[in-house]
Structure 1
Amino acid sequence: MKKSSSIIALVFACFISMATFGQETLLGSVERIKVHGKGLEGNLEGNSADPDVSIYLPPSYKKDAKRRYPVVYLLHGFTDTDAQWYGLVKHWINMPSVVDKVFAAGKLTEMIIVTPNAYTRSGGSFYSNSITVGNWEDYVAKELVTYIDQHYRTIAKAASRGLAGHSMGGYGTMRIGERYPEVFSSIYALSPCCMAPGGNRSPESLAKIETIKDPADFNKADFGTKAAIASAAAWSPNPTKPPFFTDQIVENGQVQKMTELKWAANSGLATIDQYVTNLKQLKGIAFDAGNKDQPIAANIKLLHELLDNYKIEHTYEEYEGDHLNKIAERIEHKMLPFFSGKLQSK
């Protein structure tokens, strides 16, 4: 009887081991590397020209050495980092676990996902070209894509490349996507910020911005004040104005006219008319936001109406939620199926 019990225990242990092994084979892996950016060299903020890049490799990547994969470049939001999104630092989202669940179901095309660390001294690059923060737009669309294609088994063509992002990353998705249809064929913006100029212009908020004189002041500032400094670094740089190397944002309680004009010119809605031909080349355009995420939800409705005017095909959705609480769910149920359907896998 004792021998029989031992055999049963051994069989049970083997079964558990096989089940565990089976689960492990369904998981992707994450690599974190550094990718140099020539256009990031010499930026006035002193941000690294060798930013970290997190890369999600799907479950079959290390088992099938001949298979090549479509790639989605996923851009994080303001004050976030790639490490936070990829579960390397505790955060409100763990993107690899979300993606693993989707690919484990076996219903969608597996893909590589790439996220550069766009956290800068001022909190975020807005994925724009600037002497102050560095040429992040060029870095994502040119240098990073080239590196990934050279070092990973990608399907190196626009038809197999997607671009997505959340908040600041959603803005970057629209900005870069409309400029580079020869690089990315499909784009998905999750709660994209900065689509319309303006924002909180109360006397109190302007006063807070005006009090920022040095990095110590900046480090103690609230989110909105930091976002204003970062916006200036991205869209109104000025090499003669240390320590932030930006045009004056507020003076005597008033937003400076030239700064306001530069920011408005970089807002997502303002640039659509310039890139209609490019947008019509894209195979897929999608964007969404939670109905409680204002003014973002209102602004993407305007984006929807503007694209409709030009008869540019797109998918637009406003859902029940805020800026953060449904993003993992949207990635799982909307973004990944969107790219699985749009990107060529051969």
Structure 2
Amino acid sequence: MRLRVIALLLLSGGLLQALPTLAQNTPARTGKVERIKVHGKGLEGNLAGDSPDRDVSVYLPPSYQTDRNRRYPVIYFLHGFTDSDDKWYGFTKHWINLPTVVDKTLADGKTGEFIIVTPNAYNRYFGSMYSNSVTIGNWEDFVAYELVDYIDKNYRTLPQASSRGLAGHSMGGYGSIRIGQKHPEIFSSLYLLSPCCMLPAMNGPGNPEMVASMEGVKTQADLEKAGFFTKAMFASAASWSPNPTNPPFYLDLPTKEGVLQPTVIAKWAANAPLASIDGYIGNLKQLRALAFDAGSKDASIAANNKVLNSVLTNYGVKHTYEEYDGDHINKIAERIEQKMLPFFTQHLSNQPAPRSARKR
């Protein structure tokens, strides 16, 4: 017995002495987050006065610091309306800590490693709709071209469409289909979490109370105090019906003195993905994968997803659609963990494409 105790003590001592070496050789199990600035040439001179130097949060997977020769697929993740990148990456008070979700899926062995990139699209109007506009700047082009080019030049990415995914929640889901259906040469796989704004607002604001609230906003202070849907009207107008001769907001609202403005409504309709999707079917068929979901209690968005599902089915576009028991926000972290990240693990290439097959 005494010899066994001595042997165990010696063994324990040997293990303790070896622990520092083992720790040095064990790869980190959590990723690293950087918050950088990316200049948008197409965002310069926007009439809203927002800075063209945008904050961008970048998640680097655990092995990024240790495996210096490895290159990674990239997920571009777009946040929702009134959100910002820092609320998703733990820099400020957050409702979802995306890096923590990703680290958990890695620890559980449910996902591969990715670089994940989220630009800060919060602006004077509380969201850019990821659209091109003289009022807010060319956000669509910033995401598709300038941000992708910057990330490819400054991080060890796999700079090819087959290794790039585009995803987002709510306004970010809208931005993902808006941009993704135009650029299969840049993004090969799309995942839309509760995408908003899919159908055209043919009836404008919808009720007298909303019209009064919207037209009652005269100053930036008024807009700051306005309700969520009034703010959304201004963001939509700044994105889809800009007017460089109409200060102080440089936009046209869908009503004027209570009267519906058909030209504005037509402009908004032209920016609704379900109104324009027929012209992009060829592009959507080029995608490696397309998926979208929404909670069953998120009534209007779930209904629009069903329309999208029907359109894609009729055209023979491969896709996955799911409606789950939830609302607009209560299961998003769970969906990212259990659905979105495994989706990109399955569909994004983690190997360099042959040089002759590469795009962008």
1:249 to 232, 246, 254: 254
The structural deviation recorded for 1:153 is 0.4
**Cα offsets for 1:73-93 (capped at 9, x unmatched):** 000000100000011111111
Deviates further, 247-256 or 271-280: 247-256
Alpha-carbon distance change, 217 to 344 in structure 1, aligned in 2, over 3 angstroms: same
Tell me, yes or no, if structure 1 residue 286 matches structure 2 residue 253: no
- Aligned mates of 1:189, 1:56 — CA distance in 2: 20
Q: Secondary structure at the match of 1:35?
A: strand
**Cα offsets for 1:271-318 (capped at 9, x unmatched):** 101111101100000000001112111001100001111111100001
* Residue equivalent to 1:110: 113
Tell me, yes or no, if structure 1 residue 208 matches structure 2 residue 213: yes
Conservation of the 8 A alpha-carbon contact between 1:72 and 1:112? yes
**Cα offsets for 1:189-222 (capped at 9, x unmatched):** 0000000122751111111001011101101100
Alpha-carbon distance change, 320 to 19 in structure 1, aligned in 2, over 3 angstroms: farther
- Aligned mates of 1:299, 1:205 — CA distance in 2: 22
The amino acid that maps onto 2:311 is L
Tell me, yes or no, if structure 1 residue 313 matches structure 2 residue 318: yes
Tell me, yes or no, if structure 1 residue 54 matches structure 2 residue 82: no
2:92 to 89, 92, 97: 89
Q: Secondary structure at the match of 1:121?
A: coil
The structural deviation recorded for 1:22 is 9.3
**Cα offsets for 1:211-254 (capped at 9, x unmatched):** 01110110110000000000000000000001110013322323
The amino acid that maps onto 1:147 is Y
- Aligned mates of 2:30, 2:330 — CA distance in 1: 24
Deviates further, 102-111 or 69-78: 102-111
Tell me, yes or no, if structure 1 residue 76 matches structure 2 residue 85: no
- Aligned mates of 1:174, 1:62 — CA distance in 2: 33
* Residue equivalent to 1:338: 343
The amino acid that maps onto 2:184 is P
Conservation of the 8 A alpha-carbon contact between 1:210 and 1:249? no
- Report the number of matched residues: 345
Deviates further, 234-243 or 106-115: 106-115
- Aligned mates of 1:19, 1:191 — CA distance in 2: 44
Q: Normalised by the size of structure 1, how large is the TM-score?
A: 0.94
* Residue equivalent to 1:38: 41
Conservation of the 8 A alpha-carbon contact between 1:206 and 1:254? no
- Select the structure of larger CA radius of gyration: 2
2:225 to 217, 220, 225: 220
User: Over the residues paired in the alignment, what is the CA RMSD in angstroms?
Assistant: 2.4
- Aligned mates of 2:224, 2:62 — CA distance in 1: 40
Alpha-carbon distance change, 181 to 221 in structure 1, aligned in 2, over 3 angstroms: same
- Aligned mates of 2:114, 2:338 — CA distance in 1: 15
The structural deviation recorded for 1:177 is 0.2
Alpha-carbon distance change, 328 to 126 in structure 1, aligned in 2, over 3 angstroms: same
1:123 to 107, 110, 126: 126
The amino acid that maps onto 1:211 is G
The structural deviation recorded for 1:117 is 0.3
* Residue equivalent to 2:183: 180
* Residue equivalent to 1:275: 280
- Aligned mates of 1:215, 1:22 — CA distance in 2: 55
The structural deviation recorded for 1:44 is 0.4
- Aligned mates of 2:190, 2:179 — CA distance in 1: 9
- Aligned mates of 1:133, 1:14 — CA distance in 2: 59
* Residue equivalent to 1:297: 302
**Cα offsets for 1:163-183 (capped at 9, x unmatched):** 000000000000000000000
The amino acid that maps onto 2:350 is S
The amino acid that maps onto 1:201 is G
Consecutive unaligned residues of structure 1, counting only runs of 5 or more, are none
Alpha-carbon distance change, 16 to 331 in structure 1, aligned in 2, over 3 angstroms: farther
Q: Normalised by the size of structure 2, how large is the TM-score?
A: 0.90
The structural deviation recorded for 1:17 is 8.2
The structural deviation recorded for 1:104 is 1.8
* Residue equivalent to 2:153: 150
The amino acid that maps onto 1:167 is S
1:167 to 155, 167, 170: 170
- Aligned mates of 1:126, 1:114 — CA distance in 2: 17
- Aligned mates of 2:45, 2:118 — CA distance in 1: 22
Q: Secondary structure at the match of 1:224?
A: helix
Conservation of the 8 A alpha-carbon contact between 1:185 and 1:283? yes
Q: Secondary structure at the match of 2:62?
A: coil
- Aligned mates of 2:120, 2:13 — CA distance in 1: 47
